[in-house]
Copies of this chain bind each other. A is one copy, B any other.
Amino acid sequence: MDMSTKIKYATDILIYSIDSRKNLNTRELPKKYFSILLVKRNKEPFKDMWCLPGGFVFEDETSYDAAKRVLKKETNLTDTYIKQLGTYDDIKRDPRERIVSTAYLSLVDKNKIKDELSLDVKWFDIEIKEEKEQIYLELTNEDKIFISIKKKLINNKANQYEYILENSENIAFDHGLIINDGIIELRKEAETTDIIFNLMPDKFTIGELKQVYEIILGKQLINSAFRRVIAKKVEEVDEIIQTGGHRPSQKFKYKGD
């Protein structure tokens, strides 16, 4: 007697990046935005809503292979940071039939994307508002997406939280939840590893790097302390840039610990 049922197996991939846009005040540095690549659905269910890039895992590949395949298809990038985030298998997550999806998190430098994106693929800015037990995400490009998530402590000894998707507008399936989980994971890793450098171009200024850290962590950093710590991880390259009405800045590259 075989108790097992067969289910469909898919992958979804979080492609996070940083967008840099000039300010009105030309003296100020270009402002940076945390962003994510989404795809517009062209069929039911959730037709015309946005969703994560993804698809079914083929017979002869792992979900990891599939995620890399999807990443390459949408961005033509390989050799990017990519790691398994988690598997989503709520019974009703897809209204049609049961589909289990293993999600991956990737970080890219969007300047490295040379080709045009497809028409139905767009970068969205991510804005995060966090309260004690609630997280609100607002994703913006021409369209707007709202995600509202409840945060509930389930094991105080492990700082373990359960995140429950309360509400989402204009985004398909449980993808709002996955996006949130990815942000949580990214923030956690940013505190203990040099993961952030995966979002940076090869050469960057300390100021730009600090901007990116501040967006991801969602808090202001102390300038001198930041430079002190980061100095150990970077080395100067022979390039100085002038970005506005202020002292020019040295460019650096990642060196490692």
**Interface residues of A, Cβ cutoff 8 Å to B:** 3-10, 55-64, 81, 83-84, 86-87, 89-91, 98, 100, 102, 155-160, 189, 192-198, 254, 256
Contacts and interface: CB of A to CB of B under 8 A. Distances in A.
Classify the secondary structure of A's interface with B.
mixed
A88 B7 CA distance: 15
Contact of A56 (B3, B58, B98, B155): B3
B84 A86 contact: yes
B83 A160 contact: yes
Total identical chains: 2
A8 B6 contact: yes
Contacts of A89: 9, 57, 62-64, 102
A7 B9 contact: yes
Contacts of A56: 3-5
A4 B62 CA distance: 13
Nearest to A192: B192
A105 B204 CA distance: 40
Given A8-B4, A56-B4, A194 B62 contact: no
A5 B58 contact: yes
